[in-house]
Amino acid sequence: MTLDQMRPGNECRIKYLSVRDKLGQRLMDMGVYPGRRLKVVRNAPLEDPMEIEIDGYFVSLRHEEARFVEVDHREAR
């Protein structure tokens, strides 16, 4: 499952990032990397982008960027 398929309120653990270069680095720099847990907070009024919470801070990203983040929904807890 990828992050863009998560609904607001869902929690998950990041399994894998399938993109490199600029976007991969940016996700990494914002704390989106394998092993971390995150929670989807909300979608924007027009559905896109989405807002996630990692470790007490908030990050927004577009769905087309979120689809490169492989997550595991069941391992959330």
Partner 1 sequence: MKPDKVLLALAGQPNCGKSTVFNALTGASQHVANYPGVTVDKMVGWYKHGGNKVEVVDLPGTYSLTSYSPEERVSRDFILHENPSVVVNVLDASNLKRCLYLTFQLLEMEVPVILNPNMMDVAEKRGMEINASVLSKSLGIPVVPTAMKSGRGKKKLIEAIEKVGTGESAVKPVRIDYGEMEPLIREIEAKLSAESRLRDRYPTRWLAIKLMEGDEEVRKMVGEEKNPGEMLLEFVGGLRTTFEEQTGETPEMHIGRHRYQAAEEVCKTGVKLPSNVKKPFSDRIDGVVCHRILGPLFLVGVIWTLYYLSIVQGYNITNYTWPLLAKIRSFTEAIMPAPGFIEIPILRSFALWFVDSVNALLNYIPIFFILFALIAVLEDSGYMPRMAFIMDRLFSRYGLHGQSTLPMVLGGIYVGGCAVPGVMSCKGIPDDRSRLATILIIPLLNCLAKVPLYVLLINIYFAQHKALAMFFISTISLLMVLPVSKMLTMTVLRKRDTAPFVMEMPPYHLPTVRGVLGRAVERVWLFIRKIITIVAALAVVIFVLLQFPGIGKDRMAYYEAEKDRAINTFYKKISATDYAAAIQADTPSKNLMDLVLYWENYKNARMMAGSQKAASAVNKAFKIRNPDFYPVVQPEGDKDAKKVNREMKKLVRERKKILQEMRKERINQSFLGRIGQAIEPATQFAGFNWRVNVALLSAFAAKESSVATLGALYEQEEAGETLEQRMAAAETGFTPLHALALMLFMVLYPPCLATSIAVKLQSGSVKWMLFSMGYPMVLGIFVATLVFSGGSALGLTGLQAMFAFYGLMLCITIAAGFLKTKQEPSLIQP
How many CA within 13 A on the CB side of residue 12?
A: 24
Write out the residues near partner 1 by the rule CB under 8 A. 16-35, 41-42, 44-49, 51, 53, 55-62, 64-65, 68
What minimum distance in Å lies between the beta carbon of 39 and partner 1? 11
Q: CA nearest 41: which of 12, 69, 16?
A: 12
What minimum distance in Å lies between the beta carbon of 9 and partner 1? 13
What minimum distance in Å lies between the beta carbon of 27 and partner 1? 6
How many residues in total does the chain contain?
77
